[in-house]
Chain A
Amino acid sequence: MVRLILRRLGLGLITVALVTGIIFVAIEMLPGDACVAYLERDAVGQRLENCREQLGLNRPAIQRYGLWVGAAIRGDLGVSASGGKDIATLVGDRFRNTLLLALCAIVAGVPLSLFLGVVTALNRDKSADLVVSSIAILAMTIPEFVTATVLIFVFSIWLEWVPGIVMTSAGAPVAAFFPEIVLPTAALTLVMAAHILRTVRSSVIEVMASDYVQMATLKGVPYWQIIFRHVLPNALLPAINVVALTIAWLLGGVVVIEKVFNYPGLGRLMIDAISDRDIPVVQAIALILATVYVAVNLGADVLTLLLNPRLRTLQMRGTR
């Protein structure tokens, strides 16, 4: 058991290591280096030399990779090309803000989507299911910026309930983001909840059609006991991984939503950094986002392993 979790952890670390490799190689392959990219037409003579000196670009690639990874492990993400600011400090508040937004969406979205997923599955093909499932398809497929725009139009411009844009600065305390965070959260929740709902729904439907649920019915187990004792534990186990994947995938979607609502998070910083061609910052953000992705999936795998008796005992036998 422990061995298995360690093995999974090892695989996660390998993935992160590969990510650093991919990021590094990709950036090496770009024409010019970080300084050329940032300085553009000014990338000549002394300015270029200074910049390269500052970012340590004069060393050989292998050495730079080693230094970058070594520093990243210690929490040092280097300095930005624009103005030589410490990236860790630059990213710190933004990362917190993005986590705050994601957390709000998870708290609102996961219970809601689990509940709706089960309800729609149990009322399969009835009107409640059709309505909720149709909304889910819409929410899932329509681009985030469209959802966000519609939300702003309805709740901010038309009804004037909540602000449609975030004015709070990046370093402000958490409490300052309310109520501005409501609409970004709602936009994020809609997309995320739709994915989870669809998975839970089909998982519950599949379990409801299983032989053991039929057996429980024919054993005279009352309906709600069947749902809670026999169906949900089996239907929600596979959903854990999907929830994790959805959360991890949100990190891509959050970029657009942060931009739409002017939310001072990691995603907006990323877009700005890319516009500025600030390669060191982009590199650092890519590493952070990839690590979060791997960590969330790892957590889900371990949780599934702990909760599923089948996997648990099979693995125990295997390690003996």
Chain B
Amino acid sequence: MTSAATIPEQSGGRLTKLYGVLKDIMSRPSGAIGLMLVMVHVVVAVASPWIVPFDFKRVDVDLMLMPPDGGHWFGTDQLGRDVLTRTLMGGREAMFVTAIATPIAVCWGGFLGILLGLAGGRIDDGLMRVVDAFLSLPWILVMLLVIVIFGSSMPVLIAALGFFYGVPVIRVARAAAHTVVARDFVVAARARGHGRLAIIRVEILPNVLDALMVEGAMRWSWMLLAFSSLSFLGFGVSPPTPDWGLMIADARSLMSVGPWAVLAPIVALSSLIVGINLTADALAKALGIDRAQKAPV
């Protein structure tokens, strides 16, 4: 049996394809759950200042570590602040920073990777050594160093995450470009005499874009992980701004007394990251990148 037997009859262009991909993601249980989680988080992050029941800064020593009740649905933390309010708002900074840093990383890493994939030869070999060298340094060391020297303001975090998380993207883009460049349709374009930039834009980029999209989703989740780890270690968001990593770090020591204060941010952070990963997986399958997923016939 070959695929020749299963040709879809409908015609249609790119919009149809985008819609098809979205439909494909939603048709997989994991993809649907993942996409829903991400959507809910995005909506909450945007709308939270208007929907939270309390002021996130309001300290009330009388209400220290109150268990969940009708007033404070998720209880209060060690300073008597409302956990629900802080949890709803705790992803804003992380999502804002990473949502800007991710496209930066994917764009510069992707562009350089494609160029290297096209260039090949000695330039490619040499620069890949440098990329390898960068990758051999633990990300956390690099990020901590930057923060200690330049502070943890939002522009610094965006720049640092955007730069360092672009390095692995180079690899992915390069590998994808490598496979595309050898294909006959690129050879055909060269033989026709199109310019190099035109070939990149028209022939190569659309094919590498799929891999980059999946990579971007993965990068986003890695960045969130990094961001919250930094906050957890005390190097990220500074109090009293609510942030999941910071909330977990603060409430952890009192976990035996008030587990609700640590549980809420854990669930929030985990559900977002899991949601992104499920979506990325489903996206990879929908785009046909996942090699393990082969059609039965």
Contact = CB atoms under 8 A, between A and B. Distances in A.
A and B touch in the complex (CB under 8 A): yes
B149 A146 contact: no
B57 interface: no
A18 B136 CA distance: 10
A171 B84 CA distance: 44
A157 B149 contact: no
Contacts, number: 123
A157 B141 contact: no
Contact of B274 (A14, A138, A144, A202): A138
Nearest to B275: A141
User: Which residue, of B134, B144, B249, B292, has the highest number of chain A Cβ atoms within 10 A?
Assistant: B292
Contacts of A149: 248, 252, 255, 262, 266
* Interface bracket on B: 35 or more
Interface string A137-163: 110111111100110110001000000
A31 B292 contact: no
Interface string B107-140: 0000000000000000000000110111111111
Contacts of B276: 141
Interface residues of A, number: 50
Contact of B132 (A15, A146, A209): A15
Nearest to A27: B145
B252 A137 contact: no
A232 B266 CA distance: 38
A256 B232 contact: yes
A290 B136 CA distance: 5
A251 interface: yes
A141 B274 contact: yes
Interface stretch (B72-80, B85-93, B184-192, B221-229): B221-229
Contacts of B7: none
B137 A286 contact: yes
Interface of B: 129-130, 132-141, 144-145, 148-149, 221, 225, 228-229, 232-233, 245, 248-249, 252, 255-256, 259, 262, 266, 269-270, 273-274, 276-278, 281, 290-292, 294
Interface of A: 11, 14-16, 18-19, 21-23, 26, 30-31, 37, 137-138, 140-146, 149-150, 152-153, 157, 201-202, 205-206, 209, 248, 251-252, 255-256, 259, 270-271, 274-275, 277, 282, 285-286, 289-290, 293-294
